[in-house]
């Protein structure tokens, strides 16, 4: 049931130690500084621990356990995405079909059918999904409900499900590649958030996400690329060039994911402050970068290396 790879275990222990140290420092600063609001950072620290738990399971356990863990991650991410949509009763049937696509998508992963895995949601679900909506309740609000549902499926199911296919595409290296990807993605998000919050001045999209600045992006990209170069030989079979390129690719993908999902949430949550405050505590905000970095990194590696 357990797959204990020395590199993966040591990496996860280092991450846990780093989070513990950060947690202690944060607790001390929060206790001694009453003039600042640390509620957002407090939520982020809790969700970072949650992400560590999820991907520890996905990395250390048997591939079937990892498959189910990632399937539930997709389910809850999609559920939280649907919770922010302005929906009507007529949309519930559409959501049901969207949920049913998750186990089918993961079945293609389980049997290793790459061809169906890669086209099922972008092609077949895309073409099928409008039909129940049209036949059931007509055309009122059709475009918004169908397109927003398909956006959710592409991000929270298709994008994130690539995390599960790494181990199928490369049984020998897949688990460590997932760990490598997740470490760099979360590191980029953490550095970008902290730099943007405390140092950054030039906001990229102030109307949608004031927590993303150009200073945060540039510094986090530099740090992520440096860590990638020092970590690739330890966790992956990549060469030195891709040890550098991986950090750059993942950083740009994270940046794009954060921007796109920020604008998407802004559009969906205009005028709904209650849902916006609830969403800050959700895992949806933590996996937006992974929804972009997981498929992009997967296909770049698959194109250039035979082991995938």
The domain total for the chain is 1
Mean pLDDT of 252-267: 83
- pLDDT above 70 covers a percentage of the chain that reads 81
Torsion sign across C-alpha atoms 55, 77, 163, 100: positive
The answer as to whether 73 is a domain residue is: yes
Mean pLDDT of 62-68: 79
The answer as to whether 46 is a domain residue is: yes
Range of the domain at 267: 6-304
CB atoms within 10 A of CB 97: 16
Q: CA 35, CA 32: separation in Å to the nearest integer?
A: 9
Q: What are the tokens at 172? A: 């020998």
CB atoms within 10 A of CB 141: 15
* pLDDT score at 2: 44
Query: For 43-54, how does the pLDDT look when each residue is reduced to its tens digit (9 = 90+)?
Result: 667 767 777 776
Query: For 204-257, how does the pLDDT look when each residue is reduced to its tens digit (9 = 90+)?
Result: 887 767 778 889 899 999 999 999 999 898 888 999 999 999 999 999 999 988
Q: CA 86, CA 75: separation in Å to the nearest integer?
A: 19
What is the DSSP secondary-structure string of 69-115?
HHHHHHHHHHHHHHHTS---GGGHHHHHHHHHHHHHHHHHHHTT-HH
Q: CA 288, CA 84: separation in Å to the nearest integer?
A: 15
- pLDDT above 90 covers a percentage of the chain that reads 31
* Spatial contact of 102 and 160, defined as CB atoms under 8 Å apart: no
Looking at the predicted structure, is the pLDDT value of residue 274 above 80? Answer: no
CB atoms within 10 A of CB 270: 10
Q: Give the start-end residues of each E strand in the chain.
A: 203-205, 209-213
Looking at the predicted structure, is the pLDDT value of residue 201 above 50? Answer: yes
- What residues have CB less than 8 Å from 261, skipping those under 6 apart? 155, 284, 288, 291
- What residues have CB less than 8 Å from 91, skipping those under 6 apart? 85, 133, 141, 145, 149
- What residues have CB less than 8 Å from 122, skipping those under 6 apart? 154, 158
Q: What are the tokens at 287? A: 């996996």
* pLDDT score at 167: 86
Question: Band of the pLDDT at 16, cuts 50, 70, 90?
Answer: confident
Looking at the predicted structure, is the pLDDT value of residue 133 above 80? Answer: no
The answer as to whether 170 is a domain residue is: yes
The answer as to whether 207 is a domain residue is: yes
Task: Pick 96 or 93 by higher pLDDT.
Answer: 96
* Spatial contact of 228 and 250, defined as CB atoms under 8 Å apart: yes
* pLDDT score at 5: 60
Q: CA 153, CA 19: separation in Å to the nearest integer?
A: 31
Mean pLDDT of 121-143: 81
| CA-based radius of gyration for the chain | 20
Mean pLDDT of 183-198: 85
Q: CA 44, CA 65: separation in Å to the nearest integer?
A: 26
In terms of Cα–Cα distance, which of 189, 158, 163 is closest to 176?
A: 163
The answer as to whether 162 is a domain residue is: yes
Mean pLDDT of 194-198: 82
- Among 86-90, 136-140, 275-279, name the most confident range: 86-90
The answer as to whether 290 is a domain residue is: yes
Q: CA 20, CA 301: separation in Å to the nearest integer?
A: 32
* pLDDT score at 178: 87
The answer as to whether 298 is a domain residue is: yes
Question: Band of the pLDDT at 275, cuts 50, 70, 90?
Answer: low
Size of the chain in residues: 308
The β-bridge relationship of strands 209-213 and 203-205 is antiparallel
The answer as to whether 1 is a domain residue is: no
DSSP, collapsed to helix, strand or coil, labels residue 4 as coil
């Amino acid at each position: 049931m357990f797959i204990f790879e020395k590199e993966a275990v040591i990496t996860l222990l280092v991450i846990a130690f780093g989070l513990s140290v950060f947690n202690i420092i944060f607790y001390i600063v929060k206790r001694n500084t009453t003039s600042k609001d640390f509620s957002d950072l407090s939520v982020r620290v809790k969700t970072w621990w949650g992400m560590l738990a999820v991907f520890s399971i996905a990395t250390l356990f048997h591939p079937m356990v990892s498959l189910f863990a990632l399937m539930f991650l997709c389910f809850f991410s999609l559920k939280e995405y649907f919770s922010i949509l302005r929906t009507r009763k007529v949309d519930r049937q559409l959501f049901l079909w969207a949920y049913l696509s998750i186990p089918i998508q993961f079945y293609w992963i389980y049997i290793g059918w790459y061809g169906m895995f890669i086209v099922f949601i972008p092609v077949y679900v895309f073409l099928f999904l409008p039909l129940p909506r049209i036949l059931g309740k007509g055309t009122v609000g059709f475009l918004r409900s169908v397109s927003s549902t398909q956006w959710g499926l592409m991000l929270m199911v298709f994008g994130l499900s690539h995390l599960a296919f790494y181990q199928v595409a490369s049984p020998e290296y897949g688990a460590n590649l997932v760990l490598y990807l997740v470490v760099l993605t979360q590191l980029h998000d953490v550095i970008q958030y902290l730099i943007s919050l405390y140092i950054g001045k030039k906001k990229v999209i102030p109307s949608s996400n004031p927590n993303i600045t150009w200073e945060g992006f540039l510094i986090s990209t530099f740090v992520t690329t440096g860590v990638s170069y020092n970590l690739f030989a330890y966790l992956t079979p990549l060469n030195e060039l891709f040890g550098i390129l991986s950090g750059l690719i993942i950083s740009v993908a994270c940046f794009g994911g954060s921007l796109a999902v920020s604008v998407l949430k802004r559009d969906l949550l205009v005028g709904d402050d209650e849902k916006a405050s609830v969403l800050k505590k959700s895992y949806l905000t933590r996996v937006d970068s992974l929804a972009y970095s997981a498929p992009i990194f997967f296909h770049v590696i698959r194109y250039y290396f035979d082991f995938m």
